[in-house]
Amino acid sequence: MSNDWPLYEVFIRSRSGLEHKHVGSLHAADAAMAVEHARDVYTRRQEGVSIWVMRSSDIVASDPTDADALFEPARDKVYRHPTFYAIPDEVKNL
Amino acid sequence: MYTQGLDSLGKECVHTAAGDTAALEARFQGKVDADEKIEPKDWMPDAYRQTLIRQISQHAHSEIVGMLPEGNWISRAPTLRRKAVLIAKVQDEGGHGMYLYSAAETLGIEREQMLEQLLAGTAKYSSIFNYPTLTWADIGAIGWLVDGAAIMNQIPICRCSYGPYARAMVRICKEESFHQRQGFEIMLALARGTPEQQAMAQDALNRWWWPSIMMFGPSDTESRHTAQSMRWKIKRFTNDELRQKFIDITAPQAQFLGLQIPDPDLAWDESTQHFKFGQIDWSEFQAVLKGHGPCNRERLEARRSAHENGRWVREAAAAHAEKQRARAQRAA
């Protein structure tokens, strides 16, 4: 009964050195089965070298309606970017 | 904790007899030699793990203590723009400390333990932060020289063999690039200013130059860990190589500013295509490292009182979370 199987989120490391990235989700009876299923569902074309799974119910997400309050304050802080500072062309390696 | 989550399937955590260790070590070194990354669940020699814990936690402590000398000038920045920039920079340093502490935690040490080591004075941090910031020009000199030296050190670590450290460093280097430019911009404004402002810039360079080039650590002949760290690809260049690179790119920048680097022996060497420079006073470096710098005591005192003064906040947050949990349980 697939309805009894909890949902797992799947993260794949596409190659050595990179971080795991979220690729999707699937149902499985337990974590070990989730890894096996993730192998079959998400890496049929050698998409990865490592798999992480976690119960979807363990994820706490920000509320989309809060997006402005959370992220808008960073919008006018252009001085956090290197291009904000005018350095004469003659000065190298900065 | 991160490492516990990773252990849940445990297939790779092979328990081995002593005889297998040599084979595991050979496989490990093979991966490092092939430029593959070592990840938290992979087998690694204990000395590699300990070296990384030491290096990453020291690096994290340096970011956190590094907030103090600059924080000193936030309330006295000359303009609102400079103040906003300085706050943003100090925020970044705090964030970088967090990235690094969590990278260290993937190796099995707990955050609490690292904090205890810092506050007890048993952990090291970069000796540069034990110097005082006496004038506004020091904020310029720190961005230009101290962050410049840090970037020179950190860029090769983006290719370090330990995955979580390398990835943290990519993020840090990306964010760090504005730090050096804002510092140079401050120096440029002063260098183009009144004679008093120029003198202030020169004074800051005089005081920060030698400590900055000491940031690369002891000379290769004295450095205990270099050879092993290079074999493990934790380090990609030696201390002296990085120091030379830094001096080579910084000397022309000083010249552009019209400032004099406080080293009478500094001169371009046509035959080597590098700048020659004078003797470094390593006794000063050793003294600061041992706790006898101008601000060692003040820095640790500031960290300790921040930790103590924040205790009630941590306790209140934990109590609140506990109350919410109990309430949810009663409701269920």
Q: Closest-CA residue in chain B for A19? A: B167
Do residues B85 and A79 touch, judged by C-beta distance below 8 A?
yes
Gap from A88 CA to chain B (nearest CA, Å): 10
| Residue A90, φ and ψ in degrees, nearest 5 | -65, -20
What's the first-to-final CA gap in chain A, in angstroms? Answer: 61
Domain ranges (residues) in chain A = 2-81
A-chain residues near B92 (CB < 8 A) = 80
* Candidates 1.10.645.10, 3.30.1330.60, 3.40.50.261, 3.10.20.520; CATH matching A2-81: 3.10.20.520
Q: Which of A17, A79, A91 is closest, CB to CB, to B253?
A: A91
Whether residue A20 is predicted with pLDDT greater than 50 in this model: the reply is: yes
Whether residue A4 is predicted with pLDDT greater than 90 in this model: the reply is: no
What is the Cα Rg of chain B in Å? 22
Cβ A80–B178 below 8 Å, yes or no? Answer: yes
Do residues B172 and B215 touch, judged by C-beta distance below 8 A?
no
| Residue B275, φ and ψ in degrees, nearest 5 | -80, 135
Per-residue confidence (pLDDT) for residue B15, from 0 to 100 = 54
Sequence-distant (≥ 6) Cβ neighbours of residue B271 within 8 angstroms: none
Distance of CA B283 to the CA centre of its chain: 22
Per-residue confidence (pLDDT) for residue B177, from 0 to 100 = 86
Question: Cβ of B9 under 8 Å from any chain A Cβ?
Answer: yes
Low-confidence ranges of chain B (pLDDT < 50): 1-13
Gap from B121 CA to chain A (nearest CA, Å): 33
Chain A residues with a Cβ under 8 Å from any Cβ in chain B: 16-19, 31-32, 35, 50, 54, 77, 79-82, 84-88, 90-94
Per-residue confidence (pLDDT) for residue A35, from 0 to 100 = 98
Whether residue A37 is predicted with pLDDT greater than 50 in this model: the reply is: yes
Distance of CA B149 to the CA centre of its chain: 10
Per-residue confidence (pLDDT) for residue B1, from 0 to 100 = 37
How many Å apart are CA B107 and CA B246, to the nearest integer? 31
ipTM score of complex:
0.88
Per-residue confidence (pLDDT) for residue B332, from 0 to 100 = 85
Tell which of A13, A20, A94 to mutate to test the B interface (max B CBs under 10 Å).
A94
Cβ A16–B256 below 8 Å, yes or no? Answer: no
Per-residue confidence (pLDDT) for residue B8, from 0 to 100 = 44
Per-residue confidence (pLDDT) for residue B12, from 0 to 100 = 47
Please work out, in degrees rounded to the nearest 5, the angle formed at the alpha carbon of residue B242 by the alpha carbons of B236 and B245.
130
Per-residue confidence (pLDDT) for residue B10, from 0 to 100 = 43
Question: Cβ of B177 under 8 Å from any chain A Cβ?
Answer: yes
Cβ B253–A88 below 8 Å, yes or no? Answer: no
A-chain residues near B244 (CB < 8 A) = none
Cβ A85–B39 below 8 Å, yes or no? Answer: no
CB atoms within 10 A of CB B273: 8
